Homo-oligomer: A and B are copies of this chain.
């Protein structure tokens, strides 16, 4: 009965792919597919089939040789491993452009991450309603976190305010943070932080574009003499 399956540490790279498999499996299930091979799942996920099998093997031996994986059962196991057997309410700090888009986005709650609250410092924003949730003052953060048992916080403030926002989240009892501000947050080691940085993504694309162009076709007129200063 696979007694210690829980305690096995799953590699980071695998953890970041499991949600992708999960979504694809859900789609397959909805389409009436009840059995799937690693090859097919790999094709859908755009990865190597061996990688799929190895990833899934960290959860246990849930496949059937010669047949594949039973979709619904696999969905159940992946969800369990990712901790998706219950909802994880999130609190959003910053009700600007991005905070509003996030709050207004239904996909959050659907996937098990209901918006437990959204807070801001700006009194003009407090009281307005976004996506069915009323914006509250940031001073109410500890109360929201505690009464709603929130462990995940989202930082959607300008960069200059992001560290403070993170500090307040941590002080309120949040233990995981998703950061959209373009700064490196400093938090206690026990807090899990993930960042989503648009500028970084675009600059990575820019790197590849520049490289594709040969790296030097767009000759830069000025500034070349700089190397003399080094």
Task: Give me the interface of A with B, judged by CB distance under 8 Å.
Answer: 1-2, 6-7, 10, 15-16, 18-20, 22-24, 44-46, 60-62, 70, 73, 76, 80-86, 88, 90, 97-98, 100-102, 104-105, 107-108, 111-113, 151-152, 175-176, 178, 182, 184, 186, 192, 194, 196-213, 215-216, 218, 220, 223, 226-227, 229-230
> A227 vs B77: C-alpha distance in the bound complex, in angstroms?
10
Closest 3 pairs between A and B when the two form their complex, measured CB to CB: A83-B210, A6-B215, A101-B101
Identify A226's interface contact among B76, B82, B184, B215, CB under 8 A.
B76
**Would you list 11 pairs from A and B whose C-beta atoms are within 8 A, ordered by A residue?**
A7-B215, A20-B184, A60-B230, A82-B206, A83-B210, A84-B203, A90-B202, A113-B199, A175-B209, A194-B201, A196-B196
Return the chain B residue nearest A193 by Cβ: B205
> A202 vs B111: C-alpha distance in the bound complex, in angstroms?
9
> A70 vs B201: C-alpha distance in the bound complex, in angstroms?
26
Inter-subunit contact A178/B194 (CB<8 Å): no
> A85 vs B213: C-alpha distance in the bound complex, in angstroms?
13
- Chain B residues lying within 8 Å of A62, measured Cβ to Cβ, are 230
- Chain B residues lying within 8 Å of A196, measured Cβ to Cβ, are 196, 198, 201
Return the chain B residue nearest A202 by Cβ: B113
- Chain B residues lying within 8 Å of A18, measured Cβ to Cβ, are 203, 207
